[in-house]
């Protein structure tokens, strides 16, 4: 356990899977996050003292530098869906990413892996895509040999995609969607983590677009999910103008309350993002180029979506009981 990797955002959805894999590979892992007291669970990923959460504010040079001290490799998993405030798109995904790369270059770090997103583009339609593109540009300007990962929507036990729609399906007979025709290529979180490990180990660099084996529309994905959670719902595909009206009202409510009401439903920028497909580009380097076989979401989603079934964990037992003969 001589080598040390610092993972910024290592207690988040993707970061924790990377931390677990690095610990299993024998590395010491420093998980840099805003609330280390809430990230104590990462300690269980390795031996005593192998994985440690530490405080870090990526908006501050000294804080980033302190979290990186003594590290051989760095991974940046920090991201946000907040357009404004101190931890805005610009502060976190553009300036923050550039800060990590600049300090990594100063510290002569051997490898840097940065988690971006498919569609990252400084000239993108959404502010989210623009900030991701600016972050990539800042990363490559300071650390040209960095590995940049651009995943499509990521699925896994703690995801904010299937879990979000599963929770919505429990609320009523109608499930509203915006962008039902938009295509996605869901990628398994542990496949993304495996790709990141390749970069940390110095086995790969450059830009990789990560997607699973299936390219489907949002409507198709949700239809499969409803079968998995055993719920019949009327899927209402709303046009983009209707989605914009709803998102504008929610954003306005958040603004008027000074952020006391946080819009976690849908924002105007998310509506804009939904107008573009999130699939791997033709000719892009992919999981296959890293020697990783993409995992089908059909094989994983049922393992954690049972909690949204009407009978929860007892659904399989009830289905089996139907086949019992009455005495």
Domain boundaries, the chain: 4-159+186-213+277-294
Superfamily designation of domain 4-159+186-213+277-294: NAD(P)-binding Rossmann-like Domain (3.40.50.720)
Q: What is the pLDDT of residue 2?
A: 74
Cα separations in angstroms, 234 against 52, 174, 231, 237, 267: 46, 5, 10, 9, 23
Q: Is 231 helix (H, G, I), strand (E, B) or coil?
A: coil
Q: Is 133 helix (H, G, I), strand (E, B) or coil?
A: helix
Q: What is the pLDDT of residue 323?
A: 72
Q: Is 148 helix (H, G, I), strand (E, B) or coil?
A: strand
Read off the pTM.
0.94
Reported as a single tens digit per residue, the pLDDT across 56-90 is 999 999 999 999 999 999 999 999 988 878 889 99
Q: What is the pLDDT of residue 248?
A: 93
Q: Tokens at residue 148, please?
A: 């940049």
Spell out the alpha helix ranges (H) of 160-279. 162-169, 189-200, 218-228, 240-256, 268-273
Burial of 2 (0-12, 13-18, 19+ CB in 10 A): exposed
Query: How far is residue 260's CA from residue 7's CA, in Å, rounded to a whole number?
Result: 30
Q: What is the pLDDT of residue 257?
A: 80
pLDDT of 40 above 70: yes
Mean pLDDT, the chain, integer: 94
Reported as a single tens digit per residue, the pLDDT across 158-176 is 999 999 999 999 999 999 9
Q: What is the pLDDT of residue 255?
A: 81
Cα separations in angstroms, 50 against 1, 4, 47, 198: 8, 9, 5, 20
């Amino acid at each position: 356990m001589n080598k040390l990797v610092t993972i910024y955002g290592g207690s988040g959805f993707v970061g924790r899977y990377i931390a677990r894999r690095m610990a299993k590979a024998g590395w010491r892992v420093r998980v840099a996050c805003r609330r280390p007291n809430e990230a104590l669970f990462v300690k269980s990923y390795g031996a005593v003292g192998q994985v440690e959460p530490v405080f870090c504010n990526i908006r501050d040079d000294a804080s980033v530098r302190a979290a990186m001290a003594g590290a051989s490799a760095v991974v940046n998993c920090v991201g946000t869906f907040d357009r404004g405030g101190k931890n805005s798109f610009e502060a976190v995904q553009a300036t923050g990413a550039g800060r990590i790369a600049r300090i990594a270059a100063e510290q002569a770090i051997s490898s840097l892996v940065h988690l971006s997103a498919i569609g990252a583009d400084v000239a993108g339609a959404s502010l989210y895509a623009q900030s991701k593109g600016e972050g990539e540009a800042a990363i490559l300007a300071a650390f040209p040999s960095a590995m940049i990962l651009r995943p499509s929507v990521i699925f896994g036990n703690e995801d904010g995609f299937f879990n979000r729609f599963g929770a919505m399906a429990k609320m009523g007979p109608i499930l509203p969607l915006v962008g039902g025709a938009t295509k996605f290529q869901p990628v398994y979180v542990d496949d993304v983590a495996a790709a990141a490990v390749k970069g940390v180990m110095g086995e790969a660099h450059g830009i990789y677009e990560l997607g699973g084996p299936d390219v489907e529309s949002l409507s198709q994905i949700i239809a499969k999910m409803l079968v998995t959670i055993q719920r019949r719902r009327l899927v209402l595909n709303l046009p983009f103008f209707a989605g914009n009206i709803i998102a504008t009202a929610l954003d306005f409510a958040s603004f008027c309350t000074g952020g006391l009401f946080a819009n976690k439903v849908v924002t105007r920028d998310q509506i804009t993002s939904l107008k573009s497909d999130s699939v791997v580009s033709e000719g892009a380097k992919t999981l296959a180029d890293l020697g990783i076989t993409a995992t089908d979401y059909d094989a994983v989603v049922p393992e954690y979506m049972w909690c949204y079934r009407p009978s929860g964990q007892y659904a399989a037992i009830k289905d089996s009981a139907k086949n019992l003969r009455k005495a």
